[in-house]
Structure 1
Amino acid sequence: MSAPSLLRAPAGAHPLRPRAASLVVTAALLLAGCAGGGDAAGPTEAAPSPGADHGYPVTVDNCGTEVTLEAPPERIVTVKSSTTELVLALGAADRLVGAAFLDGPFPPDLAEAGADVPILSERAPSAEVVLAAEPDLVFAGWESHFAADTIGDRAELADLGVATYVAPAACQGDGYRPDPLTFDDVFAHVLEAGELLGAREEAAALVEEQRAALAEVEPSTAGLTALWYSSGSDTPFVGGGSGAPQMIMDAVGLENIAADIDAGWGSIGWETVAAAEPDVVVLVDSAWNTAEHKIEVLESNPVTAALPAVAEGRYLVVEFAATEAGVRNVDAVASLAQQLAEVPLP
């Protein structure tokens, strides 16, 4: 049996149907633009809210979309590692009915909790795949996940009784995009997610733990510059000046040579990299674009091969899943700081 709808739908909207088959058929019609304006359901006597004694209903303004939950969500689908790992870290693994678009394996401290989470899709899932899991909340890492060719429009999902929530650090609209992203933003996101999931105490404890761990990191005071190399061979895709890469480098004490890019990530030319002559290179490691491959690119490119950082192997490595705002960011800072202390510098 599916969980009851937790989203306060617009007046006249139908509640979430109990069977996945009904959801999928309804979604196919809605997302194809075929849903008609049928008669609204008649008024019924309202039942007491199951979350009334636990701080519900909860309403948040999420990237410009108002989201209201009447009770803690019981069937959660997550998209991206950052959102999945946050749900696991908040102790809600038993409510995860599916995850998609993971960037790699879970970190050791979350591996056991995430061992039985169903993986719905290797990439952004379709509406049919998501709705077959009968979620009452879809928690996505990017706004773009809610598109006609993937999960579907947020308003249309709301009409089906499915609440949606985007990681606030990924909001792109004016007044919602963090500029720049800070650890205070990340921690506020954790607390808001805890409020929505009915895990306030867990969220507060997690933030306290992460603040303490971050305070223990001693940033470098050597005035070192760095290239955050995410991907790309002909043209490098690098960490810009307003997202998680910049936030992490600031905490480590590294000056980003691409800080003038007003975005979390962006592209620059290899000649620009060579002219900046970074002291170290931060390599983003992923299964599809490894740190080793990036080293090969740097060492085989005549423009970058002669750079002291490349010639002397001044590389720091960070896992891809830690490069988006989430519960891994503090660990990434600590790891990079330790690696930096071990890199032979002039």
Structure 2
Amino acid sequence: MRTLMFIATAAVFSVPAHAQTIYPLTVENCGETITIPQAPERVVTIKSTATELLLSLGLGDKIVGVGFQDAPLPAHLSGTQLNVLADALPSQEVVLEVEPDFIYGGWESNFTADGAGERSTLTKLGVANYVAPAACRSIAPPKLTFDDLFAEITEMGSIFNATSTANDLIAEQKLTLASITPDTRGLTAVWYSSATKTPYVGAGNNAPAMMMEALGLTNVFADIPEGWTSVSWEAVADANPDIIILVETPWNTAEQKRTLLAENPVTKEMDAVKNTRYLTLPFPAAEAGVRTIPAIVDLSKQLSNLSIP
């Protein structure tokens, strides 16, 4: 058995822990150049990944509103009272009512005229805005790595003049990642995110692929150059993976997925379905963020408990 080791790139740790951010700060983000005149004081976060990163950096007092939260906060962050602007994507009008100076979106699609507002419009209004790099689609991101996760933490630390806290969080996550022992049984897996008629699965270049690799699993859809993709049930059944990873969501629970797989004539004879070889994780941990590495630890424990011939 080997232990997965992470070697940080120089870019991630190039800023000394005691460094103070010099403003105005200019950042290149998802095809946009954004300028931060000073550390943001009134922040709207959209999607759980954005909210949970700022909370993990001790910046909860800066958050004036949240939207599109995918699930309750994890226990260690749950003491924070958040102003929920909308259960789904808040409109630009609703967002601007709380007078933010910074909007942090977990998906690029959060920034539309029908959503929180187009990025260019918000910038003209004096509201800086940032897309989680792993969710960028205007510029197709390369295959996601753990370096990329840490780089986002570093960048948030710089934006909020919280470099020391960001470096501490990176160091903690690095230690957790180094503790993971990948499975050596040569197992294959499908990452089943959502949908029923046409399953939405983890493909080859985002969080699901990165997490499966860290677990020592072979992703049967790794050759598709997307983060997630829609496939047919026939394709899933033909792959006949050893493991199926189920994403727990309020709108499509892991139990509903299990029932569907067991009742669907195309999938019910799959080895993983007949032998209930499933791993589960909550939706906010299934996208790139501060939950990613702890989720791999949990999945690794689940995997070690599965008996597979």
Q: Same fold (TM over 0.5)?
A: yes
The equivalent residue for 2:9 is none
Q: Does 1:217 align with 2:184?
A: no
1:142, distance to aligned residue in structure 2 (A): 1.1
Residues 138 and 162, structure 1, Cα contact 8 Å, conserved in 2: yes
The equivalent residue for 1:126 is 91
- The one-letter code matched in structure 1 to 2:282 is E
Q: Distance in 2 between matches of 1:224 and 1:275?
A: 15
Q: 2:53 aligns with which of 69, 80, 86?
A: 86
Q: Distance in 1 between matches of 2:102 and 2:157?
A: 14
Q: Distance in 2 between matches of 1:130 and 1:291?
A: 32
Q: Tell me the TM-score normalized by structure 1.
A: 0.82
Residues 126 and 149, structure 1, Cα contact 8 Å, conserved in 2: yes
Q: Does 1:292 align with 2:255?
A: yes
Q: Distance in 2 between matches of 1:60 and 1:89?
A: 21
Runs of 4+ in 1 over 2 A off after TM superposition: none
State how 1:137-152 maps to structure 2 within 5 Å: 137-152=102-117
The equivalent residue for 1:233 is 196
Q: Distance in 1 between matches of 2:229 and 2:111?
A: 23
1:163, distance to aligned residue in structure 2 (A): 0.6
- The one-letter code matched in structure 1 to 2:97 is A
- In our comparison, the structure showing a higher alpha carbon Rg is 1
Residues 178 and 185, structure 1, Cα contact 8 Å, conserved in 2: no
1:148-207 deviations in whole A, cap 9, x for unaligned?
111111111111111111111111133xx3321111111101100111111111111101
CA RMSD of aligned residues (A): 1.0
Q: 1:107 aligns with which of 70, 74, 81?
A: 74
Q: 1:168 aligns with which of 130, 133, 136?
A: 133
Work out the number of aligned pairs and report it.
290
Q: Distance in 1 between matches of 2:235 and 2:293?
A: 29
Q: Tell me the TM-score normalized by structure 2.
A: 0.92
State how 1:286-325 maps to structure 2 within 5 Å: 286-325=249-288
The equivalent residue for 1:3 is none
1:260-283 deviations in whole A, cap 9, x for unaligned?
221110011111111111001000
1:212, distance to aligned residue in structure 2 (A): 0.6
Q: Distance in 2 between matches of 1:54 and 1:233?
A: 47
1:54, distance to aligned residue in structure 2 (A): 4.1
**Bigger relative contact order, structure 1 or 2, given CA contacts below 8 A and separation 6+?**
2
5+ residue gaps, structure 2, are 1-19
Q: Distance in 2 between matches of 1:83 and 1:211?
A: 20
5+ residue gaps, structure 1, are 1-52
SS class of match (1:331): helix
